[in-house]
Amino acid sequence: MYTNSYYYIGQFSKFIRPGAQRVGAASNRDKLQTTAFINPDGKLAVVVLNTSDSEMKYDLWIDGEAAETTSLPHSISTLIVQ
């Protein structure tokens, strides 16, 4: 049986490439955690972890522009921005 960390590492390794640089990212909710990296190809990978029992809608803000999205309960997702 695999642990949660197995799946987290798989998520990171699939979307965050060797040589990626970590960039600032923040969440204004305790149950929604995030980090972000710029990959060598210039694409931004934003990883969002929802630790709650509820679906959470949120806005991803980049350079003054927002995109609304939803994080499912107990999920980890990665958004790729070009």
Confidence of residue 81 (pLDDT cuts 50, 70, 90): very high
Distance CA 49, CA 31 (A): 8
CB atoms within 10 A of CB 20: 18
pTM value is 0.88
Measured CA distances, 26 to 18, 33, 78 (Å): 23, 8, 15
What integer pLDDT is reported at residue 3 of this predicted model? 87
Share of residues in the chain with pLDDT > 70 (%): 100
The full set of domains in the chain, from first to last, is: 4-81 (2.60.40.1180)
What integer pLDDT is reported at residue 2 of this predicted model? 85
Distance CA 56, CA 37 (A): 22
Q: Which residue has the higher pLDDT, 16 or 10?
A: 16
